Amino acid sequence: MLDEIRLRFAEIHYPAQPADLSCTFSAGVVSLGAHVDSLSLASQADTALYRAKHAGRNQVHSALASVTFHTTRSEIEA
């Protein structure tokens, strides 16, 4: 679901947006496990988000697995 949001976000064009400016969406995802407190979940999601940003942005990273979703702008425009 977040990857679909990421793809749709990349398609948005704002009237005042310069042609060479693009917007990206990065996210960190975590699964709720047994006996995991909310602070731990937030920390794991935050870590996954920063991994997505450091990996080049415009990606969704999972905190519990090495799952990454990303598509280049050319793939979106094709």
CA pair distance 35, 31, nearest whole angstrom: 12
Half-sphere exposure in the Cβ direction for 18 (13 Å, CA): 2
Give the pair of three-digit tokens for residue 73.
Answer: 């702008």
CB burial class (10 A; 0-12, 13-18, 19+) of residue 17? exposed
Is residue 18 over pLDDT 80?
Answer: no
Is residue 74 over pLDDT 80?
Answer: no
Q: What's the average model confidence in pLDDT over 63-75?
A: 54
Higher pLDDT, 45 or 12: 45
Is residue 8 over pLDDT 70?
Answer: yes
pTM, two decimal places: 0.64
Give the pair of three-digit tokens for residue 39.
Answer: 């602070």
Task: Report the percent of the chain where pLDDT is more than 90.
Answer: 6
> Who's near 11: CB < 8 A, 6+ residues apart?
76
